[in-house]
Amino acid sequence: MKQHRSGPLSDLRIIDLTQYLAGPFCTMLLADLGADVIKIEPPGGDPTRQMGPLPPDSKGCDYGGYFASVNRNKRSVVLDLRNERDRDALMRLVDSADALVENLRAGAMDRMGLGYEVMHARKPALVYAAIRGFGDRRTGESPYLNRPCFDVVAQSMGGLVSFTGPEGGPAYRTGAAVGDIYPGSLAALGVVSAIHAARRSGRGQFMDVGMYDAILALSEEITYQYSMRGRVMRPNGNNHQTLVPYGIFPTQNGAVAIAAQTDHHWQILCGIIGRPELAKDERTLTNRARLKNAAFVRSLLSQWTGARPTREVVAALDGKVPCGPVNNGQDIFEDPHPRIREMLVETPMPGDNPPVILAGSPIKFTETPSGIYARAPRLGEHTAQLMAEIGASN
């Protein structure tokens, strides 16, 4: 871990009213980049505190791996926003902040008298950010506005599920919760952009990211394919819709990714697999030709990779043709790259618990280093500290 909070956003303070994954991932990114993120939790805490895997000493630690991962580098304050005293404390914290981020149901903050208009009247320079399933009425009132939304719903409605899965088979959600993580990532960019504008103009604004919208943007190919060709994309397995060979191929003990769609890389690959004549074969000379004969190309390459262990295939193509092994968690822990790049960070856990290894920040800087510098907080761990700072009792 880093020794202290640093990074290009170390001059920012963010009030974090988010729970579950999309919102906490957004504020985690900001915290990793140095922002002082104050996580406001209800008396019962963020529900993900109790999601596993849980540590052996559960009395000394009130959260598990899920919460630890996306709430590192934050300070926790417990406020019950149903009572006036705690709502006032929130507003006093807002006075010292650059932005507030929430992912509650549409209208929830307004009903408590804490919506954007109230916040803006109190502090015109504040950026108010929301992550919701279907956006907010202020930026376009969706007919689905009041529906709850989670990752799998966003992935499905945004189109990603429709072309993910085995070729000719059923549609699949992706393994990673991109329906939460991608909207959260876009929201972090939006927050930084809006703060930049506010510092120029002195005027903050409301911004939101709809989870449906974010996944539609991520799945951008389905829009132009349908617009220009009337084509509805379907699951295509581990292969690309228009590039050949470009996909996942079996090996004796696993699988590898190979991307030899350019004619240059295809010619090199033909030599490596012992079929140099295919580099000049009309059936495989260009990507367009290979696309027409995709089954032949993929079968040929699968036979070659399938007869060899993963390590041998990667070694043969290394530095010549874009390729890589299909890594699982154990493989990643054994790979030197994530350690060298500080992508596996040993982070302490409260109580009598061993540390947990978390995925580090992929955004690297030479002058303003960022990353994990503090474990996730226990519920309300910093309430007294922050209340004293604003002159409020708790």
Active site residues: 180
d(CA 275, CA 361): 42
Q: For the purposes of burial, counting CB atoms within 10 Å of the CB of 136, is it exposed (0-12), middle (13-18) or buried (19 or more)?
A: buried
d(CA 45, CA 388): 21
Bridge partners, residue 206, by sequence: 128
Bridge partners, residue 39, by sequence: 16, 76
d(CA 138, CA 140): 6
Displacement of CA 82 from its chain's centroid (Å):
31
CA proximity to 9, closest of 178, 119, 124, 127: 127
d(CA 55, CA 49): 11
Contact 60, 350 (CB under 8 A): yes
Strands (E), 251-347: 255-259, 323-325, 344-347
3-class secondary structure, 282? coil
Contact 73, 28 (CB under 8 A): yes
User: How far is residue 167 from each of residues 225, 233, 249, 385, measured CA to CA in Å?
Assistant: 18, 11, 14, 56
Tokens of 87: 């709502």
